Copies of this chain bind each other. A is one copy, B any other.
Amino acid sequence: MIPIWRLWRGDARVDAIDPGDRGFAYGDGLFETILVHRGVPVWWDAHMARLALGCARLGIPNPHADFLRHQADALIDGRARGVLKLILTRGVGARGYAPPTDALSTVAMCLSDPPPLPPRAGLTLRWCATPLAIQPRLAGIKHLNRLEQVLARAEWSDADPDTSSIHEGLMCDTSGRVVAATSANLFVLRDGRWLTPPVADCGIAGICRGWILDHIQGAGEATLSRADVESADAVILCNAVRGILAVAAVGQRRWAMHEAVRGLRAALALAEPAFAAIESAASESL
């Protein structure tokens, strides 16, 4: 499946992004990346809640979730599996930063293939040199200003034999505290508890991160140093599309598969059948 795009200005379908769109000019908008399973967008309500929070923070009118769901369902059209990306921007404006008062929001939806299955042995991570800036006004929400993640992800290349075995990179903030991977949140197992960095200063409040915090006993937020990560009993990454991914290595540190990781993945698979499907496909690929 090649990516299929649909675009709206307000609630009217349009053929193209206006070059004066503030998403293009300033990254003035938000996005959500949603797993599609058996024709349904998974964790839809949680994605809409985060989008609404982002709209409130940026002062962008919140589009009706019913409209978005109707259009998402029409685009998904019963497909068994895929990824739905939703972009919402403040719409078209004149030159200058002042937000237009009467702009219609732009909505873009893209349906594409699901990512490949994670490696059975777990992910190999590196430490990124690019830091995340501390900016409480933009922390937590999934806005379109993502140059930090782009620069971090550009630190290694799948085409370079020296780095082609790297699956993801961990980022610290400018004070040296661990925050997240470039496109996933991070949990570490320490003293029997799953801990993840807070997202009050930077980082994104991931949907799968939220699920773990809400549903796994003892899971919580904690400030983590690189040493805290490397000395953890186990490490996982998580996001809304790939679920929970075991980490096999960060830099020189290696981990065998930990029973607690299996338990965490099993709990998610039980609660959300979409992730049971990933477990099942991974087993079949043995």
Contacts and interface: CB of A to CB of B under 8 A. Distances in A.
Nearest to A151: B137
Question: How many copies make up the complex?
Answer: 2
B95 A26 contact: no
B108 A19 contact: yes
Contacts of A152: 97
A148 B137 contact: yes
A182 interface: yes
B85 A28 contact: no
Contacts of A3: 20, 94-95
A46 interface: no
A257 B207 CA distance: 55
Contacts of A22: 150
A112 interface: yes
Contact of A146 (B18, B26, B112, B159): B26
A190 to B, nearest CB: 28
Chain A interface size, under 10 / 10 to 19 / 20 to 34 / 35 or more: 35 or more
B19 A7 contact: yes
B27 A144 contact: yes
A97 to B, nearest CB: 4
Could you say which of A59, A96, A152 has the most chain B C-beta atoms within 10 Å of its C-beta?
Answer: A96
A24 interface: yes
Contact of A153 (B27, B33, B98, B150): B98
A22 B87 CA distance: 12
A23 interface: yes
A152 B97 CA distance: 9
A83 interface: yes
Interface string A21-41: 111111110010100000000
Contact of A83 (B5, B95, B97, B144): B95
Contacts of A153: 96-99
A110 interface: yes
Nearest to A7: B19
A165 interface: no
15 contacts: A3-B94, A5-B20, A17-B18, A24-B108, A25-B31, A25-B87, A26-B149, A27-B27, A27-B145, A28-B147, A96-B183, A97-B182, A98-B158, A133-B138, A138-B151
